[in-house]
Structure 1
Amino acid sequence: MSNLLIAATADTEQLDGLAGWAVGVMDALGGPGAAVVVGADNLFPPIPSELVLPLAGFSASQGVFSFGAALFWTTLGSVLGAIIVYAVGALIGRERTRALVVQIPLIKATDFDRTEAWFAKHGSKAVFLGRMVPLFRSFISLPAGIERMGMAKFLVLTTLGSLIWNTIFVTAGYQLGENWHLVDAYAEILQKIVIVSIAVATVGFVAMRLRSRRARL
């Protein structure tokens, strides 16, 4: 990639640690590198996918690969990473999965517990919408695997949720060009909108169920 991403980021902000590693992988491998880093976000949640996605959009705007390729590789990475996490939950069960999760740096047992409770409450909707919420995006595949959710259904929901979220960030990076890094300032706002939307939908669903139950009495 001729050090395009590294040169571009040097003019905006100093990247080190995981962010610098992500940029280096994309610079070396191109589209497949974006898939690797976005997929790794499922396996190691602190990896900043909200940084990688705008970078993929920026590199597409520079002609390194097409906009469609950016969406393809990032979504493929999201889905493959989710499949690996699903397999872990399915193969080793709840208790060992939970014990494994708490060994991840910066991750707490409550992160797993909240995700599990959310999946138990919302099922399919949790898998779809969870792709758009931090931490839940990484962990929602675990309870899906533990409960042996149908693979076809899991893949469809994961792909659709990932494609929507990735499209938002890749498009933003593509449109902003060299100012791709400004996307990060709005990432938290987008995530809060998703969370509020989920809460509103849940309240509406419960209200409809209660109204239906009262009508039958």
Structure 2
Amino acid sequence: MTALLAQDDPSELGGIAGWAVDLMDALGGPGAAIVVGLDNLFPPIPSELVLPLAGFSAAVGTFTLAEALIWTTVGSVLGAIIVFYLGRLLGRDRTRWLICKLPLVKPDDFDKAEAWFAKHGTKAVFLGRMVPLVRSFISLPAGIEKMPFWKFLSLTTLGSLIWNTIFVVAGYALGANWHVVEEYAGVFQIVVVVLVVVAVTLFVVKRVRDRSKTPAA
């Protein structure tokens, strides 16, 4: 598959793309599972790049489309489980203590976030699997708050399958033009990053203003 990819789009063979192609060539479906699973542990490995590549791999016969969907979903779920149990290991009390040590953060901030997750955690875990960056971290609060494992597993599997199917099938259908999917997905990721930056900035500004008003009060 590497030769085919190089012939149609040599620029995509460098870095993560080249490594992912080599791994899928060597291991087949399990290679796709490893790459996608690492997306949960190392966000710089974007699923928006790897999943269309898995679809293209299926199109050229490295494995079938069904195998691509199964293995990428297995990788997503296994990666999420690791993060989930890291949250369990960290625990609520330790997490609260660490969060409250951050500048400008109050214990009440953690308590509000915890209450929000208790109310919306089911939707957050399911939908979070379909949001860039968020999908890499949403399993952590699920583990910290001790969401029932089978509930977490069901939501994660369903959300991952939907997300993976969209990108794998797109890569399969586009063939050598698989990279077009990653380009459009990159716009979505930029939007998410901007929203996160704006939210953090507003939080910091508000907290700094509140602190500056406290002495006068």
Q: TM-score, normalised by structure 2?
A: 0.72
CA distance in 1 between counterparts of 2:48 and 2:142 reads 24
Q: Could you tell me how far apart the structure 2 residues matched to 1:44 and 1:193 are?
A: 20
Count of residues paired in the alignment: 178
- Is 1:30 aligned to residue 45 of structure 2? no
Contact 1:119 1:140 in 2 (8 A): no
Q: 1:160 aligned to 131, 154, 158, which one?
A: 158
> 1:121, 1:10 → 2: CA distance?
51
**Cα distance in structure 2, aligned partners of 1:160 and 1:43:** 19
Residue by residue over 1:106-162, the C-alpha shift from the partner in whole angstroms, topping out at 9 and shown as x without a partner, is xxxxxxx9xx67745621000000001111100000000000100010000000000
Deviates more, 1:90-99 or 1:10-19: 90-99
Query: Which whole-Å CA distance do the structure 2 matches of 1:9 and 1:124 have between them?
Result: 43
Of 16, 19, 22, which aligns to 1:18?
16
Q: What one-letter code is carried by the residue in structure 1 that aligns with 2:178?
A: W
| Cα distance between partner residues in 2 of 1:52 and 1:87 | 24
User: Within the alignment, does 1:182 sit opposite 2:180 as a pair?
Assistant: yes
* Letter of the 1:161 counterpart: G
| TM-fit CA distance, 1:187 | 1.1
- Deviation track 1:93-114 (CA, whole Å, cap 9, x = no partner) reads 25766999xxxxxxxxxxxx9x
> 2:178 aligns to what SS in structure 1?
helix
CA distance 1:99–1:7, change in 2 (3 Å): farther
- What does residue 137 of structure 2 align with? 139
Matches within 5 A, 1:110-125: 119=117, 122-125=120-123
Q: Kindly, what percent of the aligned residue pairs are identical?
A: 70
Query: 1:85 maps to which residue?
Result: 83
The residue aligned with 2:124 is: 126
CA-CA distance at 1:69 after TM superposition: 0.3
Query: How far apart are the structure 1 equivalents of 2:97 and 2:36?
Result: 24
CA shift in 2, pair 1:29/1:99, >3 Å: farther
Instruction: Letter of the 1:81 partner, please give it.
Output: G
Cα distance in 2, alignment partners of residues 27 and 62 from structure 1: 11
Name which of 3, 8, 11 aligns with 2:5: 8
Query: Where does structure 2 lack aligned partners over 5 or more consecutive residues?
Result: 99-109, 193-217
**Paired AA for residue 51 in structure 1:** L
Alignment gaps of 5+ in structure 1: 101-112, 195-217
Aligned residue number for residue 57 of structure 2 = 59
Are the counterparts in 2 of residues 131 and 165 from structure 1 also a CA contact under 8 Å? yes
SS in 2 for 1:154: helix
How far residue 62 of structure 1 moved from its aligned partner, in angstroms, is 1.3
TM-score (structure 1 length as normaliser): 0.72
Query: Could you tell me how far apart the structure 2 residues matched to 1:182 and 1:99 are?
Result: 44
Displacement after TM superposition at 1:193 (Å): 10
Q: CA deviation at 1:61?
A: 1.1
User: Partner letter of residue 60 of structure 1?
Assistant: A
Change (3 A) 1:129 1:6: farther
CA RMSD of aligned residues (A): 2.9
Cα displacement (A) at 1:24? 2.3
8 Å contact from structure 1 (residues 119, 127) kept in 2: no
CA 1:82–1:123 in 2, change beyond 3 Å: closer, same or farther?
same
Q: What amino acid maps onto 2:85 in structure 1?
A: A
Between stretches 131-140 and 17-26, larger displacement belongs to 17-26
